[in-house]
């Protein structure tokens, strides 16, 4: 075990066993002696965790008719807004005090700039979401778009964590080769860009993410041995757990027990998925790795569990999550619709078809409460992780039927250590770039030297100030 001797445990205390390495959650024992945890300003309090989640194909409420039905943006601007039952965000209603909706912003950098780019919206949009820059049309290695905001945040606040950032994905990705309309597949497959020419790989397999977080076997041979024994990684560090528990108070021991139970449960679920997928039974996603569940909901929930553990243990403070791939034809029977995702988004402007697409939108958004509840019930010192974090969910596309990038959906969940107040719908003035909102968010998160981002034209007030009308650019 690694301790700072004397007065308190180091925040970077790890438990190490045979090929396993466990970071610990924040404990009272990590507070310097003589201080109360509630009164200590931890060195990373200002370093707000950021989770950025991309949705593809926009939302039905961003269609012209869908907007009149308030399928995305509520009618009320300002505080205490109400969502209609058909709202894509209705599943978030129990968390309205943590919800900030920003409507009517544009992602014009995803639009076609030249004639050869027309029609290629699906194959450049994802690269634009967190960069707010226009991708160079190429299928070669000369990629160029922009550095994504998550990587800007990671450079400032992630360098003293074991993993400066983590990138997750649900759909299959293949950054090699070219996609349609002369765009590299890298533009479609990654939302995180370390530089304008460097897309970051994204993790699809929960087993891979678990092994990254817990060092579950330092070599392939060690990992193979442990899995062959069907033992938990916790069994390999049991001696270290007993040793550290003797140095903890009762509350810390309870936190440790809950944390380790969560780790064991996630590991158990991954093992069950792998066992089922290797059983020889027919799979819904036959090309997926054994650790990837066929169920969309199960896959999302395991990935959310891993993200919360990563933030809880301060293994990383920056997470990006790609929940779909443009033009994918996956069907979501649990949504109540049997239409494939991409064809459903091309609803032709027909009201009945828009509502059918909205069923899928509602279902996909309904994954978020699982993450939000996990953050809300996970304590980090004297506050929960939802109070301390910013979860950004949005799309670089608005009305997928038209490949339109005007009035795109964007919402925030969490309080971000006071950056966001929640229970708020902010409507931007017509023509406002989404980049304005992202610029102000980054400034509020401590990037005070940022004066522009993407195609930003100014700032955007992220708090109410009593507004009940659209917000002008400042």
Domain boundary among 233, 257, 291: 291
The band of 220, judged by pLDDT with boundaries at 50, 70 and 90, is low
Distances (CA, A) of 145 to 114, 177, 295, 424: 16, 17, 33, 32
Whether 129 shows a pLDDT value over 90: the answer reads: yes
- Indicate which CATH number applies to the domain containing 56: 3.40.720
Mean pLDDT value across residues 439-455 = 97
State the Cα–Cα distance between residues 21 and 147, nearest whole angstrom: 31
Domain membership flag for residue 210: no
Q: Which residues constitute the domain of residue 193?
A: 49-204+297-308+316-474
d(CA 146, CA 124): 12
Residue of 320, 326, 413 whose CA lies nearest to 365: 413
Residue 212 lies in a domain: no
Judge if 364 and 385 occupy the same domain: yes
Domain match, 401 and 357 both: yes
Task: Examine the domain organization and report whether 339 and 304 are in the same domain.
Answer: yes
| H-assigned helices in 249-350 | 250-277, 296-312, 341-345
- Residue 42 inside a domain? The answer is no
Helices 250-277 and 238-245 pack at an angle, to 10 degrees, of: 160
Are residue 368 and residue 221 in the same domain, yes or no?
Answer: no
Please report whether residue 129 resides in a domain. Answer: yes
* 209 inside domain: no
- Contact indicator for 433, 453 with CB cutoff of 8 Å: no
| Number of domains, the chain | 2
The answer on 331 and 187 residing in a single domain is: yes
CA dihedral 116, 122, 123, 126 (to 10 degrees): 130
Same domain for 178 and 83: yes
Indicate whether 286 and 354 sit together in one domain: no
Cα–Cα distance for residue pair 245/252, rounded to 1 Å: 8
Q: Does position 200 have pLDDT exceeding 60, yes or no?
A: yes
Q: Is 11 inside a domain boundary?
A: yes
- Encode pLDDT of 47-101 as tens digits: 799 999 999 999 999 999 999 999 999 999 999 999 999 999 999 999 999 999 9
SS3 content of the chain, % helix, strand, coil (to 5): 40, 15, 50
């Amino acid at each position: 075990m690694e301790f700072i001797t004397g007065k308190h445990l180091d925040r970077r205390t790890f438990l190490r066993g045979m090929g396993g390495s466990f970071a610990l959650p924040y404990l009272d024992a990590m507070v310097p002696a003589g201080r109360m945890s509630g009164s200590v300003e931890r060195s990373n309090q200002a370093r707000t965790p950021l989770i950025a989640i991309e949705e593809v194909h926009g939302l039905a409420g961003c269609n012209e008719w869908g907007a009149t039905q308030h399928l995305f943006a509520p009618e009320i601007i300002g505080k205490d807004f109400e969502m209609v039952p058909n709202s894509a965000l209705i599943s978030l209603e129990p968390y309205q005090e943590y919800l900030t909706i920003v409507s009517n912003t544009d992602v014009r950098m995803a639009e076609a700039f030249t004639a050869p780019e027309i029609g290629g919206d699906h194959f450049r949009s994802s690269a634009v979401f967190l960069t707010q820059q226009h991708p160079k049309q190429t299928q070669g290695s000369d990629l160029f778009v922009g550095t994504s905001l998550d990587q800007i945040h990671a450079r400032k606040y992630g360098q003293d964590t074991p993993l400066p950032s983590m990138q997750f994905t649900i759909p299959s990705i293949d950054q090699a080769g070219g996609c349609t309309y002369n765009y590299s597949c890298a533009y479609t497959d990654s939302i995180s860009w370390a530089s304008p020419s460097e897309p970051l790989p994204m993790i699809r397999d929960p087993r891979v993410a678990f092994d990254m977080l817990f060092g579950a076997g330092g070599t392939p041979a060690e990992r193979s041995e442990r899995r062959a024994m069907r033992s938990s990684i916790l069994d390999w560090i049991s001696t270290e757990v007993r040793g550290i528990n003797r140095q903890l108070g009762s509350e810390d021991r309870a936190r440790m027990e809950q944390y380790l139970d969560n780790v064991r449960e996630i590991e158990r679920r991954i093992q069950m998925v792998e066992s089922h997928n290797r059983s020889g039974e027919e799979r819904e996603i036959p090309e997926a790795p054994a650790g990837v569940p066929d169920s969309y909901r199960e896959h999302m929930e395991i990935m959310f569990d891993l993200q919360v553990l990563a933030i809880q243990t301060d293994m990383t403070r920056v997470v990006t999550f790609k929940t779909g791939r443009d033009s994918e034809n996956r069907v979501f029977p649990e949504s109540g619709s049997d239409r494939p995702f991409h064809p459903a988004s091309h609803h032709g402007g027909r009201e009945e078809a828009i509502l059918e697409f909205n069923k899928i939108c509602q279902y996909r958004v309904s994954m978020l409460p699982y993450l939000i509840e996990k953050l809300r019930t996970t304590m980090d010192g004297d506050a929960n992780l939802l109070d301390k974090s910013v979860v950004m969910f949005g799309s670089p596309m608005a009305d997928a039927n038209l490949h339109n990038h005007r009035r795109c959906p964007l919402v925030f969940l969490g309080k971000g250590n006071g950056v966001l107040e929640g229970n708020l719908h902010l409507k931007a003035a017509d023509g406002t770039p989404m980049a304005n909102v992202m610029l102000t968010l980054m400034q509020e998160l401590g990037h005070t030297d940022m004066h522009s981002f993407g195609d930003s034209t100014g700032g955007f007030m992220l708090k109410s100030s009593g507004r009940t009308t659209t917000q002008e650019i400042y």
